[in-house]
Amino acid sequence: MQLEALQKENDTLRTERSEAEASTGALLKTGNSEEDDSELVAQLKKKVEMLTQDVTSMEIVLEDAQAKARAKGVEVAELEIKLEELSTDNVANLLDQIVGMSLDDWEKDKLEYQKKIETLERKLEAATKGSGTVSETAKANELVIAELRGKELAKEAMISQLQQKIKTLETDAIKNGNFASKGEDTRHVDETAAFEREQQELKLTISSLKKELDTRPAYDDNELNELQNSLEMVETLHRDEMTNLQREFELTREKNAKMETELAALQQKLAEISVGAQDPANSQHSSIELPRTPFQVQEDGSLPIYKPAKEVDPSEGRDDWCGLCERDGHSSLNCPYENDMF
């Protein structure tokens, strides 16, 4: 639209210049030397010069606008081609990625994590049962300790009985000794000797039992401490294992939930891409707008010379390009439009 307006304005200026030149020529042919005619001729010449300058400036602006329009047309065509290529490539790449990450693989990973969760649950259940086994072991240890203490009490009772028996034998020996000194009977002497031997044996037995009794409590206390330490260690290991299993179970469950969320997002994205893949470039073409540089009139009334912000080379990146008509497909030497343009 702006280019057409410039062309119309250029045609108007050309027409005005032609009319002014014709008027000047007519006045010159009349040969009138009056002062009014001279002033009119001077004004017309001045107007012709101004119109000539305006026409020249307008032609320059028009040529720049045409070159800019051609360059923008080429740029728009290139952008449309790139946009179509990018849209097609993006859709193809996304589809390839989604096909590569097959839903079957996601389902397999999901099944693997579900199996891992089930395994952890079984471990937790087994560990819970193991805590019952530890409690049973502790109870059995307590029964063993109670049995040992019962044996200790029985031995103490046996020692008391033996000591009582020793006292009885000593009393009998004294009585028998008195009787032997009076009667000097051989039978009583033999009985006294037998009592003495039995007394010695009983003393040895008592001494042995006392030694065993003295060493037994310390042994029982050490064994009890070892059992208690072992029980505490087993309980600590059990608690640590339960904590680790619970932590691993939570991490696995969170990872499974995250994978399900990613799978849902990919499925939604696949659906959106499938819908948008039918016409991927329509929405993009409508958003392309050409920048418009408004023309400003200078103070003296003439149009400025257009100076682009960045030099544009239309032949950049092209092997077969014509600099005369600025088109693809042939060189400047073989331009079919050369005679038409020049």
| Residues of the chain above pLDDT 90, percent | 0
Note the pLDDT of residue 290. Answer: 44
**pLDDT above 60 (res 130):** no
**pLDDT above 70 (res 327):** yes
Tell me if 58 sits within 8 A of 6, measured CB to CB.
Answer: yes
Q: What is the pLDDT of residues 16-38, one digit of tens each?
A: 667 666 666 655 555 544 555 67
Note the pLDDT of residue 251. Answer: 84
- DSSP alpha helix (H) spans, the chain: 2-30, 35-100, 103-183, 186-276, 282-285, 338-341
> What b/e sequence results for 250-264 when a residue is b if at least 16 CB atoms lie within 10 Å of its CB, and e otherwise?
eebeeebeeeeeebe
**Cα 246 to Cα 267: distance, rounded to the nearest angstrom:** 32
Tell me if 100 sits within 8 A of 250, measured CB to CB.
Answer: no
Query: Does the pTM exceed 0.75?
Result: no
Tell me if 281 sits within 8 A of 83, measured CB to CB.
Answer: yes
| Residues of the chain above pLDDT 70, percent | 55
Tell me if 117 sits within 8 A of 249, measured CB to CB.
Answer: yes
Residue carrying the six token digits 């088109």? 327
Average pLDDT, the chain: 69
pLDDT tier, 7 (very low <50, low <70, confident <90, very high otherwise): low
Phi, psi of 74 (to 5 degrees): -65, -45
> So where are the chain's domains?
2-95, 117-276
Q: Which long-range contacts (CB under 8 A, 24 or more apart) does 36-42 make?
A: none
Q: What share of the chain is helix, strand, coil (3-state, %, to 5)?
A: 80, 0, 20
Phi, psi of 327 (to 5 degrees): -135, 160
Query: What average pLDDT does this structure show over 272-279?
Result: 68
**pLDDT above 70 (res 170):** no
